[in-house]
A and B are shown apart, each in its own frame.
Chain A
Amino acid sequence: MVPLSDLLIWSLAGVLFGALISWIPGFHIFNIMALLVAVFGVGELMPVQAFPFFAIGAIVAYAYVSAISSVYFSVADESAVFLLFPTQRYLLLGRGHEAVLLYLIGAVAGTLFLVLGALFIFPRVLPPIYQATSPYITYFLVAIVVFMFMSEWPKEGDRGRTPAERLWLAWRQILGGILVFFLSGLLGFIVMNTNLLPTTSAYTRLTPMFIGFFGMSWVILNILSNPPMLEQVPDDRVESSLYNTLKASFGGALGGTIAAVYPIITGGMGALIAGHMTSQRGDDAFIISQGVNRVIYYVGAFTLLFLPQLRLTRGAAAWLVSSIYTPKSYAEYLAAIGVILLSAGISFLFTYYLSRFLARSFNVVHIKKLSYVVAVTLVVISYLLTGPMGLAVLFVSTAIGMMAAAFNTRRSYCLGGLILPVLISMTGHTGYFMSLLGLG
């Protein structure tokens, strides 16, 4: 383990790095970390044992500061997008700062849950539960996918003139979701199982696909919808209740933990399950639970890499870090928990002041201009990580991400890009599908 002073310096460097890039729409800490490793490498400027602590600082910062991009830079005009996220609605009502504060309440609650859990519960409870349930992960995964399809709530159909028209309008959306899932799954299968992308991009081969699904499609929607830049209220005021906060924190923690522990199950899927389990309702509760969920999902998943008895590798960052250095001692585990607290404090203050600043100056630079800059940057990142074919993948995945919006269906169906190929692989059918597609 590196000396404590070095550990602190590299953790703070991680927080600074994470904070500086996480507010930019479409940027994901995993992609940027991969880019950092690809361009600069680890071991020359930074000791390899310090890399996990640099990473944890950056991930904590991302879990906090990314609230800024999802609240302020994901503004959609209501005529372009049928359903808005609660944070988007807050922004359209001039209450963007309030949405960030609600998120921060959740993020702090998530940090406390995580730290207390990591100290007192995870080391005792997680290993036996994980051992008992891990052989059935495919069952849970396929169950969640089936539930996603079965539970899709038809947003249209009520106003059709005849029963047949109503049924078609409702099922158009459901079928659209299934199409998005399988198209993204097909793309994911090709990206994962062929040499479409160069072998030098082993750790980043999924990056352009995810940038397209969730980053680029979002940025392009911002450009197309040309949203109004409304005056924002920078007051430190939130409308919620203690009951809602506690209930949302509990639900968020539950969803975040499920997503952190089990592979492939993402934060959004965990939130879907926990939201149903705890019967959540209310925009304030939703945003708070998102704060809890994202901290536990991103930071908690990465922390499992440090847990000596379990040492699970969860998430792209953990895979990237573990390829360079895996923490081994309980001292490193405890140090990681300390770094989480320190980083959370700094990230909280950074997010809070940045939100106040943005609320005051929200309409100075139009989001459309910012989105053009981000779009170009995302293309450059994809090219640097995966070459010209990465750009082709980026183009296709962006189109699929935008299809989800066009069909008015869940954006999370794009996770088919990860889920479907993994399911095929877990059930031992990769070879069969390769020959079915004429690829092998």
Chain B
Amino acid sequence: MRGFTHYISGLAAATFFAALVGDLRLGILIPVIAAAAAYFPDFVDFKFGKFLARRDYEIDPAPWDEKKHYAPKLVRVSELSEENRYQFFAIEGKVEEILARGSGKVSYRVLREDGSEETVTESYNSIIFTLNDGTGKITVEAFGDDYEFFEEEFGKIEEGKKLLVFGYVDVEEDCSLKLVVSDAPHPQGIADTIARAIEEAYREGERIVKIHNIRLPGDVYRRFWVHLDPPKREVRVEMGPIVTPGGVAIGGDVPEYRKYGIAKVGVPFIKTYPKPTRIDSFSGPEIAFRRAEFKGKTVVKDRFLPWHHGFSHSLTMGMIIGLVVFAFFKLIGYEHATELALASMIGQWLHVFEDQLGFMGSNLLPPITKDVVPGFKLGESGSGLTNFSTAWLMIAFMIWNFNRFTDPRPIPISDAKLLLLLAWPSIIGFGIAIVKSFRLRREISELMDYYTNLEAFEELEEVGGI
């Protein structure tokens, strides 16, 4: 659920206590603590946990320019090394020598929507030249669709011409570096790193990968997807279009020959969240890969945002919050510290329960429970329907409580009738969400069968697969 849904649940929790409602009427605003307690788990995770969490691998496909805060970063040739392979940069320099102009044919694999692969061969024009920026020189190569763009941008390339070119860094067989003209990083680097992290997690126990997003000038983002395919033992990364922070695609699709990055993984792994990870605006995700036992076999499991939905999202934390609130407000002499502590605990518990309606689930009662209890899959956290239904229900509870704790009642009808009159939009909303969840659960179940199909691993091994 969204933050405000949790927050308003805490606001509503406080109104169930007549003493707190009485305080609110007197202008004592302390009960707002219950709302803060309800939002506390996300506050802790997103304002502290996210930044303090360990990162074993940091994938930054397109490092930011430090002043402008977007990519591509303007770098000097001397700053680049093999470690920058596939990353997206800009270099400014003079054309020193034109090494080749020509045309030819290029072949590359294309993944169709049905999952099949096809090899495509296309004609291309190309140019290869060296660029010197005063700190060193680098080979620059433009071909295919990128050559067309390059020619349009710079016209005829001649020795001595000054250029600001952008593209991804690649490494030649002789270990020398080159810059391949492009408008996006190459996805292979992301795929390779994730595959390496999974293999290391299998040996070492755990690896946490941070994937940064790609921010471009104009507050737009290059979208890309990370797709883990356990039965094929593949990590596939797909470069997508440029999108606005609101998620609207505004074009800029990359050519097919640099759209996909595929890395094979040498160890068995399973996927616990049934969708590819999409990275675009705001910030990129963290994924933990952890060694685990599954159906008697050792595998690697993924865990999306490992710092999220941990102890902060447990019922145990709710009890601690209740105790702390009670102790503090008792100490400062607040008359209704007990009610406030209970409202705060209930508010936090409502947060945990509401999140449990989704997919991720939480570690509900540590230290008794050790791992995440899967969610009820009623809807995704961003679902407008479940968020609105819950938030509206809380508003209904607040009005209902305000009315029944006021004498004479501003709305002079029975409690049951008033609640029904107020809550019907939520009842309808939850009804629709429950009906929709049956279809969602079936689809997810089919996907999860695929993602956790250990027999597929064995089959691959028998036929001498990976």
Is residue A84 within 8 Å, beta carbon to beta carbon, of the partner chain? yes
- Contacts A79-B68, A147-B4 given; does A279 touch B27 at CB 8 Å: no
Instruction: Given A89-B219, A131-B410, A277-B4, answer yes or no on A146-B52 (Cβ-Cβ < 8 Å).
Output: no
For A279, the chain B residues whose CB sits under 8 A away are: 2, 382-384, 387-388
What are the residues of chain B within 8 A of A159 when measuring CB–CB? 60, 63-64, 212
Contact yes or no, A147 B2, CB < 8 A: no
* B250 to chain A: closest residue by CB: A93
User: Given known contacts A129-B399, A147-B35, A159-B60, is B245 in contact with A83 (CB within 8 Å)?
Assistant: yes
The yes or no answer to A323 lying at the interface (CB within 8 A) is no
Segment among B43-51, B123-131, B256-264 that sits at the interface with chain A: B43-51
C-alpha spacing A259/B161, complex, angstroms: 59
Q: Say yes or no: A78 contacts B217, CB within 8 Å.
A: yes
A293 CB to nearest chain B CB (Å) = 16
Does A128 sit within 8 A of B, measured CB to CB? yes
> Given A78-B219, A128-B410, are A136 and B25 neighbors across the interface (CB < 8 Å)?
yes
Query: Is there a chain B Cβ closer than 8 Å to A428's Cβ?
Result: yes
Known contacts A147-B35, A160-B51, A282-B246: A142-B29 contact under CB 8 Å:
yes
- Chain B residues with CB under 8 A of A147: 3-4, 7, 35, 39
Interface: A166 (CB within 8 A): yes
A277-B392 contact in complex given A128-B410, A132-B403, A136-B402, C-beta closer than 8 Å = yes
Q: Which residues of A contact B35 (CB under 8 A)?
A: 143, 146-147
Tell whether A86 is near chain B: CB-to-CB under 8 Å: yes
- B51 touching A276, Cβ below 8 Å: no
Complex CA gap A150/B37 in Å reads 11
On chain B, the residues within 8 Å of A143 by CB distance are: 7, 11, 32, 35
The listed residue (B63, B387, B402) touching A133 by CB distance below 8 A is: B402
Q: Which residues of B contact A285 (CB under 8 A)?
A: 246
Decide if A86 touches B246 in the complex (CB within 8 Å).
yes
A133 to B24, CA, bound (A): 11
A277 and B388 contact, CB distance less than 8 A? yes
Contacts of A5 in B (CB 8 A): none
What CA separation (Å) do A150 and B270 show in the bound complex?
36
B69 at the interface (CB under 8 A from A): yes
Q: What is the minimal beta-carbon distance from B16 to any residue of chain A, in angstroms?
A: 14
Chain B residue nearest to A83 in the complex (CB):
B219
- Closest residue of chain A to B382 (Cβ to Cβ) is A279
* Chain A binding surface, main DSSP class: helix
Give the CA-CA distance A83 to B4 in the complex, in Å: 22
Q: Is A247 an interface residue (CB 8 A)?
A: yes
B248 at the interface (CB under 8 A from A): yes
Contact A153 B282 (CB under 8 A): yes
> Smallest distance from the beta carbon of B307 to chain A beta carbons, Å?
11
> In the complex, what distance in Å separates the CA atom of A154 from the CA atom of B43?
11
With A151-B3, A279-B2: A135-B25 Cβ-Cβ less than 8 Å: yes
**Nearest Cβ on chain A to B220's Cβ, whole angstroms:** 7
Do B284 and A158 have beta carbons less than 8 Å apart? yes
- Given A78-B70, A89-B220, are A139 and B32 neighbors across the interface (CB < 8 Å)? yes
Minimum distance in angstroms from A168 CB to a CB of chain B: 9
A329 lies within 8 A of chain B by Cβ: no
Given contacts A78-B217, A78-B219, contact A146 B32 (CB under 8 A): yes
CB closest chain-B residue, reference A165: B51
Q: Which of B69, B382, B406 has the most CB of A within 10 A?
A: B69
A277 neighbours in B (Cβ, 8 Å): 2, 4-5, 8, 387-388, 391-392
Cβ–Cβ < 8 Å partners of B4 in chain A: 147, 151, 272-273, 276-277
Distance between A85 CB and nearest chain B CB, rounded to angstroms: 9
Known interface pairs A277-B388, A281-B246. Does A139 touch B52 (Cβ–Cβ under 8 Å)? no
> How near does chain B come to A286, taking the closest CB pair, in angstroms?
6
The residue of chain A having its C-beta at the shortest distance from the C-beta of B53 within the complex is A163
Interface string of A143-181 (1 = CB under 8 A from B): 100110011011111111001001100110010000000
In the bound complex, how far is the Cα of B403 from the Cα of A135, in angstroms? 11
Given A170-B51, A239-B248; A133-B399 close (CB under 8 Å):
yes
Chain B residues with Cβ below 8 Å from A138 are: 24, 27, 29
* Residue tally, chain B, CB below 8 Å to A: 60
A146, B51: Cβ atoms closer than 8 Å: no
On whether the beta carbons of A132 and B402 are closer than 8 Å, the reply is yes
Cα A128 to Cα B248 with chains together (Å) = 41
Taken together as a complex, chains A and B put the C-alpha atoms of A42 and B430 apart, in Å, by 53
- Rounded to whole angstroms, the CA-CA distance of A284 and B29 in the bound complex is 38
Given known A132-B403, A159-B60, A277-B391, contact A167–B29 (CB-CB < 8 A): no
Please, what's the 1-or-0 string for A109-143, where 1 marks a CB less than 8 Å from any CB in chain B? Answer: 00000000000000000001101110110110011
Shortest beta-carbon distance from A336 to chain B in Å: 26
Interface residues as binary, B1-27 with A (CB distance below 8 Å gives 1, 0 otherwise): 011110110010000000000001101
Please report the C-alpha to C-alpha distance between residue A284 and residue B11 in the assembled complex, in whole angstroms.
31
Residue A307, interface by CB 8 Å: no
- Determine whether B255 belongs to the interface, using a CB cutoff of 8 Å to chain A: no
Find B244's partner among A86, A142, A155, A272 (CB 8 Å cutoff). Answer: A86
User: Are B2 and A276 in touch, CB under 8 angstroms?
Assistant: yes
A228 to B200, CA, bound (A): 49
B53: chain A residues within 8 A (beta carbon):
163
B74 an interface residue at 8 Å Cβ cutoff? no
Contact across chains for A128 and B52 when beta carbons are under 8 A apart: no
Give bound CA distance, A281 to B278, whole Å: 15
Q: Which residues of B lie under 8 Å from residue A281 when comparing CB positions?
A: 246-247, 382
Is residue A92 within 8 Å, beta carbon to beta carbon, of the partner chain?
yes
Residues from 102 to 122 in B contacting A, C-beta threshold 8 Å: none
**Could you say which of B29, B212, B244, B250 contacts A139, with CB atoms under 8 Å apart?**
B29
A146: B residues at CB distance < 8 A? 32, 35-36
| A283, closest chain B residue (CB) | B246
Instruction: State which residues 368-409 of B face A: CB under 8 Å.
Output: 382-384, 387-388, 391-392, 398-399, 402-403, 406
A278 interface residue (CB < 8 Å to B): yes
Contacts of A435 in B (CB 8 A): none
> What are 19 residue pairs bridging A and B, where the CB atoms are less than 8 Å apart in the complex?
A78-B219, A82-B219, A89-B219, A131-B411, A132-B399, A133-B398, A138-B27, A139-B32, A142-B32, A147-B4, A150-B7, A158-B284, A163-B53, A239-B248, A273-B4, A279-B384, A280-B384, A282-B246, A286-B246
Given contacts A136-B25, A138-B24, A151-B7, 17 further A-B contacts (CB under 8 A): A89-B218, A129-B399, A132-B399, A132-B406, A150-B36, A153-B282, A157-B51, A160-B51, A163-B52, A166-B51, A278-B388, A279-B2, A279-B387, A283-B244, A283-B246, A427-B29, A428-B27
